[in-house]
Structure 1
Amino acid sequence: MDQAKVLKYLISIEKLAEEILNDKHEIMLLDKRRNQNREALRDISKACQTKCWVTVGSVLIKHKLSDTKTLLEADQKQLNIDINKLRSNLKVKVNDLRDLEMQPPIPGSMLVPLSDKETAGLSRNGLFSS
């Protein structure tokens, strides 16, 4: 193996490792935001007022409570989608990195739960009890 191939190999490993670390950091930030939204939704459900103050960037806006709740719930759904997408891509990237490092994939890392349809089919045939 010549130096150019070794350098290219090391660069590809470092680049993929950097992507993995960035994805993990992004998941942490999104999860922190999701927790803040959850706290806000809980506070809104306890509120007795009809309006509340909402920060949009660096601006404070007085907004109807019901509209704010709808916005937060929509944001929660989008955050869940983004986090799940990052997590599933992270599994693939980790296995790709392990392939580059000539290590076997992490056992069980690509497992996915049975869908409701699959569980129902197994239950009908007596192969699964819930």
Structure 2
Amino acid sequence: MDDQEKVFKYLVSVEKLAEEILADRHEIIILDKRRNQNREALRELTKPLSNKCWLTVGPILIKHDKEVAKKLLEDDQKQLNIDINKLRSDLKVKVNNLRDLEMQPTVPGMMLVPMSQKETLAMSNSGLI
């Protein structure tokens, strides 16, 4: 394999990974906007206007009970949080892989995770915190 092919494969791999990172960031932004819209809708459901509300399911409007609508929005909110957190954790790995390809050091503190409740309890019992 000559040098031009190696350089070309290297550039293709870097660009492909960079495109994946940008696509994931865009997806996080879209999901976050949807999560904010859900939060606004949940807030509106707390106002005591009536027992029924209108929901949009794709292009269809459906009149539903407030409690059922609230449950649907809360379930959607939980799923959105899971999806956003998964994308963010995958994004950290992809950014580190890109930095490895570019022969740059990893970003310090990027892969930090919070201590679990069990670890915090052990630290406090030992007098460290």
Please, what TM-score do these two structures have when normalized by structure 2?
0.97
CA deviation vs aligned residue, 1:15-54 (integer Å, no higher than 9, x gap): 0000000000000000000000000001101133111000
Q: State the distance in 1 between where 2:121 and 2:77 align.
A: 29
Alignment of 1:37-116 (within 5 A): 37-116=38-117
Provide the secondary structure at the position in 1 that maps to 2:46: helix
Q: Shift of the alpha carbon at 1:126?
A: 1.4
CA deviation vs aligned residue, 1:98-125 (integer Å, no higher than 9, x gap): 0000000001100011111111111111
Q: What is the count of residue pairs matched by the alignment?
A: 128
CA deviation vs aligned residue, 1:59-88 (integer Å, no higher than 9, x gap): 100011000000000000000000000000
User: What is residue 122 of structure 2 aligned with on the other side?
Assistant: 121
Q: State the distance in 2 between where 1:69 and 1:13 align.
A: 44
Indicate the percent of aligned positions where both proteins have the same amino acid.
70
Q: Shift of the alpha carbon at 1:127?
A: 1.2
Q: Which runs of 5+ in 1 are unaligned?
A: none
Q: CA RMSD in A?
A: 0.8
User: What is residue 22 of structure 1 aligned with on the other side?
Assistant: 23
Q: Which amino acid counterpart does residue 60 of structure 1 have in structure 2? A: L
Q: State the distance in 2 between where 1:48 and 1:127 align.
A: 52
Provide the secondary structure at the position in 1 that maps to 2:128: coil
Q: State the distance in 2 between where 1:45 and 1:116 align.
A: 32
Q: State the distance in 1 between where 2:48 and 2:97 align.
A: 48
Q: Which runs of 5+ in 2 are unaligned?
A: none
Please, what TM-score do these two structures have when normalized by structure 1?
0.96
Q: State the distance in 2 between where 1:76 and 1:27 align.
A: 14
Q: State the distance in 1 between where 2:38 and 2:44 align.
A: 10
